[in-house]
Structure 1
Amino acid sequence: MGKDVLVQQLVDSFDSWPAKNSGCGLSRMTQELYPFDKLFSPIKINKLTVKNRIVMAPMGNIDMCEETGRPSDMMLQYFFARAKGGCGLIATGLVPVSHGIDTTVTELDKLTYFPRIDRSRTVMAGWRDLAQGVHAFGSRIFVQLTAGLGRVGNPQCLITQKKFPVSASFLPNYYIPAIPCMRLSDQKLRRIVNNIGQAAADAHAMGIDGVYLHGHEGYLIEQLGNPAFNHRKLGRYADWRQFGLDMVKEIRRRVGPDYPIMYRIDLSLALEETYDEQVMNSTYLGRMRGGRTVEQTLCYMEELVTAGVDIFDVDLGCYDNWWMPHPPASMPAGCFAPVARAVRERFAADNIRSNAGLPVPVVAVGKLGYPDIAERVLRNGDADMIMLGRPLLADPEWPNKAYAGRVADIRPCIGCQEGCLNEFVEGGHPQCAVNPRCSFEYLMPQTPAPAIESKRIAVIGAGPAGMVCALIAARRGHDVKLIDAEDELGGKLLSASAARIKFDLDNYRSYLVRQVREQTEKPNGNLTLELGRAARAEDLAKAGFDAIVCATGTSNAIPPIPGLTELAASGHAVQATQLLRQPALLGTAKTVAIIGGGAVGCEVAQWLTVEHGIPQVSVIEMLPHMMQGACTANRGHLLHALRGRNVRLLNMTRVERAEVEGKRESGAPSRCARLHLSRNCHKNVPDPYVSWSPVLPENVENPLAPKIGNDWKSLELTCDLVIIACGGHPDDALFYKLQQTHAADEMHNIGDGFAPGRVLEAVRAAYRLGTNI
């Protein structure tokens, strides 16, 4: 199959956009196009009128239901908050209808972590309550139905239930490719079609406004509906179009002509545009060649309209290039607008109308949480509606604030995907790194209760934990002093948001700084700043605070490598956090080695190669995998981009010692650092560039994983500059000194000063403490 030109251009641009000085792909929370008249105009979907053009994306409601599958109060209040926030159309997360057929969607004892609408009448009341609650705020809601997960489902069913996962054909499981997925029979697929029809009828009866078929991203509908996965030669469903068409026709038969049907589809899997021939030929991906072409997808979409579909949302990609359907921080804003435009133009050229006689709306997706970009997509005719997922988790009031012209007050999504996606992959439920109320709306009121007694509080450290805690405490009526040794607010966010791919994080930093500044300027003056002077235990003790909160972050770690301290002292090595704030320290370096292959190390490697044109970058990591523990989408995109930039990734490699070669003069290093390394070259050491298969959670054992032996070899690496990206140690000395001297009646230690972590943990702790102190 030939590669599609549009898809190839887009895929290539997703890796290279930060190199452009024009700022292409970078966006800020601006309101140049206010009032957003297109965004806040009504639209008809079949006979249904939606008050504005904002659709809440289906974010998986994993573990937000009772174990029977009945929507719980957690799930209801989560959606009510987004309806109250002004979203026109809400979509639930995926709801499987293939229990008993697809073994990956059901747990032991027939329990499930997915919401269910197919189990029995015991789940129906939850859906009825959900519909009525959303309608109370003038919003509409569709339930997203899926035929199942198939090859992208959890393969633990093989261990817990002694049953193989299933798919359209005999295919490798995504999480453990050594486990095969069994081919589903036509009879079982027909049962799923009937189940879809019944689920749609139940949704209609419960007052849900429409149904939404999950036909993209490599889930079971996609596996039947794409020749990349559907290798069937015989039977009804050997025709890759038939399963989707049968489902839509069965829904129409059960609910009649007026009930809206939405369909989620990818214009292309983009696998062959993402991976080169070497990867395709040497991995299981080679079995997935020949996916739907763009032309085939467009023709199929027109057939789906004839069968009864009223509206589409469209993007690119699947699990095997997971950053496409889940665009992380490192991808540009508005990344899929050209995809929506291609569909809209085709529908206009062919005069495609739904069965209701209306134009078929096309919904644009992909990092559209910036009101000016969202409005521009609609004004330019790229799409009819825009879809927001993570931005509405970060701030449920996004629509209301945009409508009122308060864009600067929108809490931005930072694109980390640690709460909304990685949290439930690791065994939790969806949350949000910057919105600690996300999924806890049923427990935490929108406005924290006023303090019963006003206290004098000192918050030490103006990073995300310190700023959030200080803000909440001050808004509740406490008298708060926020203290930081730096002249600027932000803490580690100042370095973490320096690279262009971190523009989402920089938006969040700007948001927090603005919130703090506004609070300090209020007439009651209950939040004051003391910047540019390090807090001293003696001064704090004398000040007579009722409570002291230490949010002092971390001290940069220097691993115990012989010679590394001397290398740093001589100017031949620098901490990543320092370099990000002072790029001039690069001097004229052409070769760089980064010690530490976590998220920071890999992001710095991308920053060096793309934004600074460093031709030779090596990243050294002791663990088997780069960025181990990071969200698969974020991790995969960075690894793919680094491979394309010829960054040398050395996993399972130790730095034994470092030494200086020659002198560094006038900022022009020349082969001045030598690292002596030991690398495990055993044949089973993982390929560090693998972006098509995930790293399993630490508590999930792969029984088929080959054992990594020991085959350590010595090598040397000479470079102009060494960058240390080894994380940090809790900077908790002040807290323990204050605690020992009883400096205040209440002492608290939060954020990285308690345990180095992510924005997610820092903000969550800060908010909970700020609301309870």
Structure 2
Amino acid sequence: MRTPRPGYARLLSPLDLGRFEVRNRIVMGSMHVGLEDSPADADKLAAYLAERARGGVGLIVTGGYSPDRTGRLTPRGGQADERTMERHRVITREVHEADGRIILQLLHAGRYAFHPLAASARAGKSPLTRFRARRLTRRGVQRTIDHFAAAAHRAVQAGYDGVELMGSEGYLLNQFLAPATNRRRDRWGRGAEARRAFPLAVAAAVREAIGPDALLSYRISLLDLVPEGQDWVETMVLARGLTERGVDVLSTGIGWHESRVPTIVTSVPRAAFTPLTERLRMSVDVPVVASNRIHDPAVAEQVLADGQADLISMARPLLADPHLPAKLADGRASQVVPCIACNQACLDKVFDGQRASCLVNPRAARETELVLTPVLERRRRRVAVVGAGPAGIEAALASAERGHVVTLFEASAELGGQLRMAARIPGKEDYGQLLNSWPMRLAAAGVGIRLDTRPTAEDLLGFHDVIVATGVAPRAVDLPGFAPDGNGPAADTPDTPDATDATDASKSAAAGPQVISYADLLEGRAEAGQRVAIIGAGGIGVDVAQFLTAPQPSPTLDADTWREHWGVVDPAERRGGILPRPRPQPRVTPDSETSDGTGTDVSADARPTDGRRSREVHLLQRKETKIGAGLGRTTGWVHRAELRRAGVVQHTGVAYQRIDEQGLHITVGEEQTLIEVDTVVICAGQVSERTLADELLAARSGRTPRVHVVGGADVAAELDAERAIRQAVETSAGL
């Protein structure tokens, strides 16, 4: 991991982009938040973007808008038509009143469109949608060029400072460029020069349409990460052609959406792709924007100092903290709310058709709905928050922001709750940034902190309000003998065997495997042996499997190791910058020589060869669905790929029988199986820890404070920090 230099002089310095000057080098990159699709949401979108402008960002790029109906992402997706652009005058006005600059991104989905009007360079279906795209005719190609130009003109007329053309991530312009998706035999596809003709024609038409004063940015794919993608020579020729046609800024993109290489999740090393950005910058005479996993301002400063880019795109970090630039300028870098790149509340929501927000900032994209209104001094309340996990800390911060007098109690010696365990999972190292930021933010907000303190109901009688955020305890199964109920888990219960509500999850069968809870393992109170069974394959179970098998040191901490780990190579050496992935070989298990159809997944590498710890790990669940099916849309496939690569043996449709001196006995279908292990890790979900809340609610005297129960203490979901923090902030907003 790079060692950043102190200070932010380069990141905060202005830059002349040719058409106008921006006040710093921070670009809020394009990110769809679900407010773009309906003109009726223009006021909400204006509030969201204007807050980032007030926070000091240099240049804002909107979410993508299609130039025509064919290019919409969804049937009701955003389009830069006359009605929409007229409504957007409120957006451009509010951003400009905040001394900001904003450009509209034009995005044609091509074969990524989720509707029957999809059209692309050639007929076919992408892996992301069930709709088959038709082939654009030669007349259709020209119409699309005209539509781009007309949409760009409407954007500038609506007050935008320019437009950005989305030519990356596998959308239409990118589809014309790659041999994988363009095998036309006409002037728009016969060879590399013909494949470039369409995006170059779009850039030229848009430049003419927006006039000499508006900014024209092009998001260029430097690394497609798909077989038969572009090579480096083609990309450089395209870049020079774009600048010749009037493009002012080249914003870099990495990877198509269908690529099987992660590019933005938290396990990707910081600034992993900036060497390619630097190479582009050396080849063109316009400013270049670096992107993808540059979340830490210190890393962004170092990228600029090393001459790898002229500007830094920080989309999700500005979801997390809209005032990030202002905090840097004011010397409050330690108080920045860090983005942990979890995708849970932003991209996962968008891909499920919901409005995006942010796990660590639930007000993101809800600025007009979730308002932390300051209270008058005479209405200040004394607020106790009990439990310093994510929900408790954010409740304390939100309450203090409103002006209340807040005291935060924590029974242990550390802040963070179960997030401390998550930060120990290889690939989630950036969660530690959130842990490090909380003490500074709490101190700045004036929150009183009492660690190693477990208050009683009597201790809290002097407060007006008590927010109980005491979290959860691991659910323990009744071992060595228990039987499932035979009906399968209910929809709202953990995917585990029948369990007791005991909080001590460390029972051991005599002379048999050691039985430990995930909490004991991740907090270092217990260690796993060489043969491990994990009971419960939800998010925690998957995390534990990765904790036990991930390479050491973590590839996330070294970009070269990570690239080798995922088969990423120089696009100058291989088209698309990706090596072919060998088919996994079946792993031989004691009870089966091949996949026997009983629910045991043995299609994984037999022996990891990439520095992984040599453990035999079994991951088990009662459900018959594939393991990891409930994980996030943008991150789940990464976790599943890592499990396969590690050789984790996956068992589904499991009925748990017993643990004895031989090991763990299970039944899959009609077949009984013994899994010989020395350790069983229980990831059987959680139970709410609400003893204090029940005591306070039972008291009901005139001196009893108002009681609010939030987070895991309210609902013991599977460590759902996004729901817990949102509930905590909403509760504080209502005090």
TM tier, smaller = 0.7 to 0.9
| 2:476 corresponds to which of 540, 543, 558 | 558
1:489/1:125 CA distance change after superposition, 3 Å: same
Are 2:384 and 1:458 aligned?
Answer: yes
Partner of 1:58: 30
Measured after TM superposition, the shift of residue 185 of structure 1 is 2.6
Partner of 1:170: 123
CA distance in 2, matches of 1:747, 1:451: 22
| 2:138 corresponds to which of 186, 191, 198 | 186
Measured after TM superposition, the shift of residue 261 of structure 1 is 1.5
Partner amino acid for 1:644? R
| 1:492 corresponds to which of 402, 405, 418 | 418
TM-score between both structures, scaled by the size of structure 2:
0.81
5 Å-filtered alignment, 1:274-293, equals 289-293=227-231
1:452/1:619 CA distance change after superposition, 3 Å: farther
Partner of 1:219: 171
- The answer to whether the 8 Å contact 2:120/2:175 transfers is yes
Partner of 1:696: none
Measured after TM superposition, the shift of residue 729 of structure 1 is 2.2
5 Å-filtered alignment, 1:331-730, equals 331-345=268-282, 347=283, 352=284, 359-445=285-371, 448-450=374-376, 452-519=378-445, 522=446, 527-537=447-457, 539-540=458-459, 543-559=461-477, 563=481, 568-570=507-509, 572-582=514-524, 585-586=526-527, 589-610=529-550, 613-616=612-615, 617-623=617-623, 624-650=625-651, 652-661=652-661, 674-679=663-668, 713-730=671-688
Measured after TM superposition, the shift of residue 97 of structure 1 is 1.5
Are 2:702 and 1:739 aligned?
Answer: no
| 1:76 corresponds to which of 40, 46, 70 | 46
SS in 2 for 1:723: strand
1:237/1:202 CA distance change after superposition, 3 Å: farther
CA distance in 2, matches of 1:309, 1:480: 52
- The answer to whether the 8 Å contact 1:332/1:367 transfers is yes
- The answer to whether the 8 Å contact 1:267/1:316 transfers is yes
SS in 1 for 2:420: helix
Are 2:215 and 1:245 aligned?
Answer: no
5 Å-filtered alignment, 1:275-314, equals 289-314=227-252
1:125/1:182 CA distance change after superposition, 3 Å: closer
Deviations 1:100-120 (A, max 9, x none): x247532xxxxx242x321x2
- The answer to whether the 8 Å contact 2:374/2:403 transfers is no
- The answer to whether the 8 Å contact 2:65/2:72 transfers is no
Measured after TM superposition, the shift of residue 752 of structure 1 is 1.4
Partner amino acid for 1:296? E
Measured after TM superposition, the shift of residue 220 of structure 1 is 2.1
SS in 1 for 2:550: helix
Deviations 1:238-291 (A, max 9, x none): 5322221121121123223453221112222213xxxxxxxxxxxxxxxxx322
SS in 1 for 2:727: helix
Measured after TM superposition, the shift of residue 128 of structure 1 is 2.4
SS in 2 for 1:736: helix
CA distance in 2, matches of 1:291, 1:556: 47
Measured after TM superposition, the shift of residue 164 of structure 1 is 6.2
Partner amino acid for 1:591? R
Partner of 2:492: none
Are 2:222 and 1:267 aligned?
Answer: yes
Partner of 2:255: 317
Partner amino acid for 1:396? P
Partner amino acid for 2:229? G
Partner of 2:733: 771
CA distance in 1, matches of 2:117, 2:481: 52
- The answer to whether the 8 Å contact 2:113/2:129 transfers is no
- The answer to whether the 8 Å contact 2:372/2:733 transfers is no
CA distance in 2, matches of 1:486, 1:733: 16
Partner amino acid for 2:188? R
Partner amino acid for 1:615? S
Partner amino acid for 1:105? T
1:266/1:719 CA distance change after superposition, 3 Å: farther
SS in 1 for 2:184: coil
SS in 2 for 1:308: coil
SS in 2 for 1:659: strand
- The answer to whether the 8 Å contact 1:459/1:548 transfers is yes
1:103/1:260 CA distance change after superposition, 3 Å: closer
Determine what percentage of the aligned residue pairs are the same residue.
29
- The answer to whether the 8 Å contact 2:43/2:90 transfers is no
1:507/1:104 CA distance change after superposition, 3 Å: closer
Measured after TM superposition, the shift of residue 480 of structure 1 is 3.5
5 Å-filtered alignment, 1:104-183, equals 104-106=73-75, 112-114=76-78, 116-118=79-81, 120=82, 122-147=83-108, 149-154=109-114, 157=115, 163=116, 165-176=118-129, 180-183=132-135
Partner amino acid for 2:271? G
- The answer to whether the 8 Å contact 1:315/1:339 transfers is no
Measured after TM superposition, the shift of residue 600 of structure 1 is 2.3
Measured after TM superposition, the shift of residue 422 of structure 1 is 1.3
Measured after TM superposition, the shift of residue 73 of structure 1 is 1.1
Is there any run of 5+ residues in structure 1 with no aligned partner, and where?
1-23, 107-111, 158-162, 272-288, 353-358, 662-672, 680-710
Measured after TM superposition, the shift of residue 54 of structure 1 is 0.9
CA distance in 2, matches of 1:515, 1:735: 26
- Bigger mean CA deviation after superposition, 423-432 or 374-383: 423-432
Partner amino acid for 1:595? I
Measured after TM superposition, the shift of residue 761 of structure 1 is 1.4
CA distance in 2, matches of 1:132, 1:497: 42
Partner amino acid for 1:635? G
Measured after TM superposition, the shift of residue 331 of structure 1 is 1.6
- The answer to whether the 8 Å contact 1:322/1:632 transfers is no
TM-score between both structures, scaled by the size of structure 1:
0.78
- The answer to whether the 8 Å contact 1:483/1:530 transfers is yes
Measured after TM superposition, the shift of residue 127 of structure 1 is 2.5
Partner amino acid for 2:20? L
| 1:86 corresponds to which of 56, 71, 82 | 56
CA distance in 1, matches of 2:368, 2:21: 29
Measured after TM superposition, the shift of residue 206 of structure 1 is 2.2
* Structure number with higher helix proportion: 1
CA distance in 2, matches of 1:417, 1:375: 24
CA distance in 2, matches of 1:635, 1:421: 12
Deviations 1:677-735 (A, max 9, x none): 344xxxxxxxxxxxxxxxxxxxxxxxxxxxxxxx6644332223222223212223442
SS in 2 for 1:319: coil
- The answer to whether the 8 Å contact 1:143/1:212 transfers is yes
1:222/1:678 CA distance change after superposition, 3 Å: farther
SS in 1 for 2:627: coil
CA distance in 2, matches of 1:509, 1:167: 45
1:558/1:430 CA distance change after superposition, 3 Å: same
SS in 1 for 2:540: helix
- The answer to whether the 8 Å contact 1:567/1:660 transfers is no
Measured after TM superposition, the shift of residue 234 of structure 1 is 4.0
- The answer to whether the 8 Å contact 2:473/2:686 transfers is yes
| 2:158 corresponds to which of 179, 182, 206 | 206
1:322/1:750 CA distance change after superposition, 3 Å: farther
CA RMSD of aligned residues (A): 2.7
Deviations 1:644-682 (A, max 9, x none): 3333333x2415224243xxxxxxxxxxx6223344xxx
- The answer to whether the 8 Å contact 2:43/2:91 transfers is no
CA distance in 2, matches of 1:164, 1:620: 43
Is there any run of 5+ residues in structure 2 with no aligned partner, and where?
483-498, 500-504, 553-611
Deviations 1:289-321 (A, max 9, x none): 322122222222222222332221223211123
Stretches (4+) displaced over 6 A: 564-567
CA distance in 2, matches of 1:40, 1:517: 25
